[in-house]
Amino acid sequence: MNTEALAQLANVGVASATVVLALAWLTHLVEWAAAREVRPARLDSDASLVSAGGHSAGGSSPATGVAAEGETSPSPSRPDRFGQAGLSLTVLGTALLAAGVLARALAAGRVPWGNMYEFAVTGALVVLVVYLGLVLRAGIQWLAPIVTGFAVVVLGLAILVYVPAGPLVPALDSYWLVLHVSAAAIAGGAFVVGAGTSALFLLKQRAEQRAGAPVTTGPLGRLPTTEQMDRLAFQVHAFAFPLWTFAALIAGPIWAQNAWGRYWGWDPKEVWAFITWVVYAGYLHARATAGWRGRGAAVLALVGFATFLFNFVGINLFVSGLHSYAF
């Protein structure tokens, strides 16, 4: 298959994934709208994270969700059926997107994150892979509307900055491209999960404060407890922070020295990557040492995510600098 055919295949893969993921997002919205009863979320004892699929019913074992011997497992509820369909569509969309990213890499003859379009598409793939991995490990399917919606928005907007597959600009032609950007992308995927968890934490906490009691009905009632979501957000951010540290403050400066002859030059993207690092460092420090939990920690996590998004979107589109080639 020649380069042109691979590039076309990549475009078809990304477009198909966008459509399938949009259907997954709509399916999960219907799941939430159809929610009439709450099945309490449980904590995954193996992962020490939040189990979300987390709904035990009837005679199912609280540890495994499998019906006890001699008992019949209850049929999935209507919202659960929509949730299962949405998850299946998400897996399919992720597979299509992975095929599109792979085809783009083969067409360009390099790693597929040499410009803003490619990083957006690959970043969306990383977000989905991180999410699906945590669905398997910790059952966070309750985060599906946020994750699939985010992926659809990113893929849709990526079309606006599309560029044909081609060679790298000289400054990017380095093995540090693989190390620096891959670490940033994985950290970004975890930041999305952490931000989504923090946002839902704030919504549920506010609803419970207004009600003066735990929320046990409607979509928010299907979420884990606020304590479990707060703990999950911390654990995800604790995983992402070292990766972001390596990408922004270690690999990035070393690459800058090789490309431009200096480790740090206060370029706008460097500055905002550092601001993102400072905010998340403050979040983790306050959460771990000062016991700063709940609303304050969730708000600070969302501020950190806002700086991360601005660094990727705002700096690339509206601010000129040495990283302008990313567009």
Q: Taking the domains of the chain in order of start, what are their residue ranges?
A: 1-115+139-167, 168-327
Alpha-carbon separation of residue 325 from 155, 225, 265 (angstroms): 20, 44, 16
Q: For position 37, what pLDDT does the model report?
A: 52
**Hey, how many other C-beta atoms are within 10 angstroms of the C-beta on 247?**
22
Are the C-beta atoms of residues 156 and 18 closer than 8 Å to each other? yes
**What 8-state DSSP symbol labels residue 50?**
E
Instruction: Please check the confidence at residue 40 and state whether its pLDDT lies above 70.
Output: no
Greater pLDDT, 187 or 45? 187
Greater pLDDT, 302 or 258? 302
Token duo for residue 253: 């400066």
Average pLDDT over residues 262-277: 89
> Which of 109-113, 141-145, 290-294 is least confident?
290-294
Chain mean pLDDT for the chain = 83
Greater pLDDT, 60 or 281? 281
List, in sequence order, every residue forming a beta bridge with 44; answer none if it has no partner. 49
DSSP for 228-295, written as a single string: HHHHHHHHHHHHHHHHHHIIIIIIHHHHHHHHHS-S----HHHHHHHHHHHHHHHHHHHHHHS---TH
Average pLDDT over residues 113-128: 92
Distance between CA atoms of residues 319 and 268, nearest Å = 7
pLDDT band with cut points at 50, 70 and 90 for residue 76: low
> Which of 59-68, 70-79, 140-149, 165-174 is least confident?
59-68
The pLDDT tens digits of the residues spanning 193-232 come to: 999 999 999 999 998 888 887 876 778 888 899 999 999 9
Distance between CA atoms of residues 276 and 273, nearest Å = 5
Is the whole-model pTM more than 0.75? yes
Average pLDDT over residues 118-147: 94
Strands (E), the chain: 42-44, 49-51
Q: In a 3-state reduction of DSSP, which class is residue 67?
A: strand
Q: For position 58, what pLDDT does the model report?
A: 34
Instruction: Please check the confidence at residue 56 and state whether its pLDDT lies above 60.
Output: no
Distance between CA atoms of residues 266 and 102, nearest Å = 34
Are the C-beta atoms of residues 194 and 291 closer than 8 Å to each other? no
